[in-house]
Amino acid sequence: MNPEISYEELATLIKTRAGVQVTVDELADPGCMFLDLGVDSLGVLGVLSDLENRYGVAIDSSDLLGRPVAEFLQTVNSSVKAGA
């Protein structure tokens, strides 16, 4: 299993866990925030929980909605790589 989560995988997780359809281009926009996409805190926590369970790591969840999606993905990938 590739330890790096892609924007494509994140888009699929957001659709599955938060019920919001997003594109890779939207997620890759450096200023894009989850709230801009219509993803609320429960949706983000669902995505985070899925990633933590899938990769067996704890991911810092502080201020998730206040950070851009790209920064969230970077945090997730750093946690996954450290736990691999």
CATH number of 7-77: 1.10.1200
Total-model pTM: 0.87
Write the pLDDT tens digit of every residue in 39-57: 999 999 999 999 999 989 8
The domain ranges of the chain are: 7-77
Q: What long-range pairs does 32-41 form, CB within 8 A, spacing at least 24?
A: 32/68, 32/69, 32/70, 33/65, 33/66, 33/67, 33/68, 33/69, 34/64, 34/65, 34/69, 34/72, 35/65, 37/69, 39/14, 41/65
Mean pLDDT of 48-73: 88
pLDDT of residue 60: 80
